[in-house]
Amino acid sequence: MDTVSNMLAVIKNGEAVERPAVSVPYSNLKHEIAKILAQKGFIAKVEKKSRKISKSAKVKPCLEITLKYDNRTPAITGFKRISTQGQRIYLPFNKIRKVKQGFGISIISTSKGLMTNVEARRKKIGGEMLCEVW
């Protein structure tokens, strides 16, 4: 299962029913993606928390993502997963394009860490295109 697509789908489904926050299992990659989404204004905030699944289960870390709305309209209108587990998509910096004429962002995994399409072009670094969010 693709955990990044799952996280984006949980966020989108939570916004569809106007939930104030959603929770997804923790991973460093998902935490970094959520921090970029918070920094760019697509979600309100992200926190790492612990939750107990059942009485006998151990405490597992999770990400608590507070969703953002503008007059009951979700901040994220759509997303697209570019690089999948079966087909990785790598691009040099000069092939990285704008998303929705600059109203969206691409999240790119580079040798310098995760960054948006604008930062990658400015730093002239290519990498793996993870997803687009608008």
Indicate the CATH number for domain 79-133: 3.30.1490.10
Query: Tokens 């691409």 correspond to what residue?
Result: 106
3-state secondary structure of 84: coil
Q: Using CB atoms within 10 A of its CB, is residue 34 exposed (0-12), middle (13-18) or buried (19+)?
A: buried
Q: Note the pTM of the prediction, 2 decimals.
A: 0.91
pLDDT digit string, tens, across residues 69-87: 999 999 999 999 999 999 9
| pLDDT value of residue 57 | 73
Question: How far apart, in whole angstroms, are the C-alpha atoms of residue 102 and residue 100?
Answer: 5
Question: How far apart, in whole angstroms, are the C-alpha atoms of residue 25 and residue 82?
Answer: 21
CATH code matching the domain that covers 3-74, chosen among 3.20.20.370, 3.30.1370.30, 3.30.1490.190, 3.40.50.300? 3.30.1370.30
**Planar angle of CA 50, 52, 54, nearest 5 degrees:** 170
pLDDT digit string, tens, across residues 1-30: 799 999 999 999 999 999 999 999 999 999
Question: How far apart, in whole angstroms, are the C-alpha atoms of residue 122 and residue 22?
Answer: 33
For residue 22 the two structure tokens come to 């959603």
Cβ-Cβ contacts under 8 Å for 113 (sequence gap 6 or more): 32
All structural domains of the chain with their residue ranges: 3-74, 79-133
Question: How far apart, in whole angstroms, are the C-alpha atoms of residue 1 and residue 31?
Answer: 18
